[in-house]
Amino acid sequence: MKLFNTLTRRKEEFIPLEEGKVKMYVCGPTVYNLIHIGNARPMIIFDTVRRYFEYKGYEVNYVSNFTDVDDKIIKKAIEEGVSAQEISTRYIEECKKDMAGMNVKPATTHPLATQEIDGMIDMIQTLIDKGYAYVVEDGTVYFRVKNFKEYGKLSHKNLDDLQSGFRALQVSGEDQKEDPMDFVLWKPKKEGEPYWTSPWCDGRPGWHIECSVMSKKYLGEEIDIHAGGEDLIFPHHENEIAQSECCNGKIFARYWMHNAFLNIDNRKMSKSLGNFRTVREISEQYDLQVLRFFMLNAHYRSPLNFSAELMESSKNALERIVEAASRLKDRKEAAAVKEADEKEKGLLNEAQGYVTKFEEAMEDDFNTADALAAVFELVKFANTNVSETSSAELAAGLLEILTRLCDVLGLTVEKKEDILDKEIEDLIEERQAARKAKDFKRADEIRDELLAKGIILKDTREGVKWKRA
Ligand code: AMP
Ligand code: ZN
């Protein structure tokens, strides 16, 4: 299997540290708002990478953090007059709902920065002890970049160029730094902000240290793959490498994977530019499988421009797959003949060719667009070769292949049952009756059953309200 490594700028054969296992860390979102579809791109892409490794029989330890302490979270908390924790807890919940809608599997571990402060203090102390970090008068701790000779190796930046660039950018108030390139590991608290006690001052960690620490704790000092959006290459990932490699004395991650941007009108979609669409908004118009299809129909290292037309064509294309699967299922159930004859056995054999094509595409740096093309060839093959006279074995065999390949991409081929408003109202009524009778088990069952069908219930003073997710 080959993947493009940002570190070497080459496609490389994937060789795991430990046979049959993949240790993978994906930088997660800062939780102060609903996630936008730009944030969804790395979630969908690296979930697909994970699924492919699992399909190939690897055991994947997949870690993805939530950054739950940050200036933006604090700002939002102040605006709403609530605690920072209330904001982050709320948006983690919402993010998990969006992930479920996009069929992104929960990570093996989703660590929270605020739960890992002790580990961060330990790592910072080690860096100070080894001469890679220093404390200034107000208690801020900085990383001493010039002591790490390999700084710049991921972003392919030259230390001298960086140094002059940073000098030109030097911000007032940071003059306690030894060098403009140095970055913050720990900073003193400000009035009204959450803080933790440390040997240097009451304060909070810098952003970069959290990923170095969480990766080490949940995956070990050396990992196979570290991933995220390409905006993280510099400085975030460069700084993570500096911290981890100086602390542990080992290569941090062997392969670095980065997705290109999701754009809108050819500009990066971002919260700060205000040109974003939330995953939630998209879910009001489309099944989130459509969004997943839209993302996978492009190569992850190519910029992708969001447009209504592309979403519509993704919807139609996905429907073709779902229709084909539904037809195969009907044929399988209605078939008069059970077993495949010689000709059909030949067809089933031929269909394996599409599996090979699919795998070849995925093994070439996860070319999901070509993998989808192989799925469509299979759809066409099934539509042409399966008819009323086909055996159950042929229909079932093709359906199994189609379902399996789509599952690797995280696409569900099952037709979603449309639940009618009347059925929802009836279930809600039954739930109310169950509650009255103190049968909370049944009441919860009904809520979960509705949630599985994409119906969200909200208990309000005026009674139960519901909406489609
Ligand atoms: P943030 O919450 O900004 O730290 O972003 C979380 C993840 O989303 C990171 O991996 C970012 O690189 C990624 N990301 C943010 N915006 C975009 C975008 N427009 N296109 C692709 N990835 C993005
Ligand atoms: Zn990170």
What pLDDT digit, counting tens, does each position of 285-337 carry? 999 999 999 999 999 999 999 999 999 999 999 999 999 999 999 999 999 99
Q: Is the pLDDT of residue 166 over 90?
A: no
Does 455 score more than 90 pLDDT? no
Distance between CA 117 and CA 205 in Å, rounded? 8
Per the model's pLDDT, the better-predicted residue between 168 and 216 turns out to be: 216
Nearest CA residue ID for atom 2, ligand 1: 29
Q: What angle do CA 279, 304, 295 make, to 5 degrees?
A: 50
User: What residues does 64 pair with on adjacent strands?
Assistant: 26
Nearest ligand to the C-alpha of residue 258?
Answer: 1
Ligand 1: which atom is nearest the Cα of residue 232? 12
- Say which residue, 425 or 345, is predicted with more confidence: 345
Closest ligand to C-alpha of residue 211 is: 2
CA angle 152, 170, 73 (to 5 degrees): 80
Q: In ligand 1, which atom is closest to the CA atom of 39?
A: 8
How does residue 109 score in pLDDT terms, banded at 50, 70 and 90? very high
Residue nearest atom 1 in ligand 1 by C-alpha distance: 29
Tokens 């911000």 sit at which residue? 171
In 10 A of CB 141, how many CB atoms? 27
Per-residue pLDDT at 174 exceeds 90 = no
What whole-number distance in Å separates Cα of residue 444 and Cα of residue 302? 44
Question: What integer pLDDT is reported at residue 465 of this predicted model?
Answer: 86
- Ligand 2 centroid distance, CA of 105 (Å): 19
Higher pLDDT, 466 or 140: 140
Position 144, amino acid: R
User: Within 10 Å of residue 150's Cβ, how many Cβ atoms?
Assistant: 13
The neighbour count for residue 137, using CB atoms within 10 Å, is 6
| pLDDT at 171 exceeding the cut of 80 | no
Distance 235 CA to ligand 1 centre (A): 14
> In this predicted structure, what is the pLDDT of residue 397?
98
Cα 455 to ligand 2 centroid, rounded to whole Å: 34
Secondary structure (DSSP) of 137-195: TTS-EEE-GGG-TTTTTTTT--HHHHHHHHHHHPPTT-TTSSSTT-EEEEEE--TTS--
What's the rounded mean pLDDT across residues 13-37?
97
Q: Which pLDDT band, with edges at 50, 70 and 90, does 167 fall under?
A: confident
Bigger pLDDT: 418 or 252?
252
Q: How far is ligand 1, taken at its centre, from the CA of residue 90, in Å?
A: 19
Does any ligand 1 atom lie closer than 6 A to the CB of residue 331? no
268 lines ligand 1 (CB under 6 A): yes
Residue 173: band (very low, low, confident or very high) from pLDDT cuts 50, 70, 90: low
Q: What are the residues facing 3 on neighbouring strands?
A: 12
Q: Which residue has the higher pLDDT, 133 or 450?
A: 133
pLDDT mean over 42-59: 98
What pLDDT band is residue 454 in, cutting at 50, 70 and 90?
confident
Position 170 scores a pLDDT of 65
pLDDT at 172: 60
Q: Which residues pair with 226 in a beta bridge?
A: 25, 256
- Residues near ligand 2 ion, CB 5 Å cutoff: 27, 211
Q: What is the mean pLDDT of residues 59-64?
A: 98
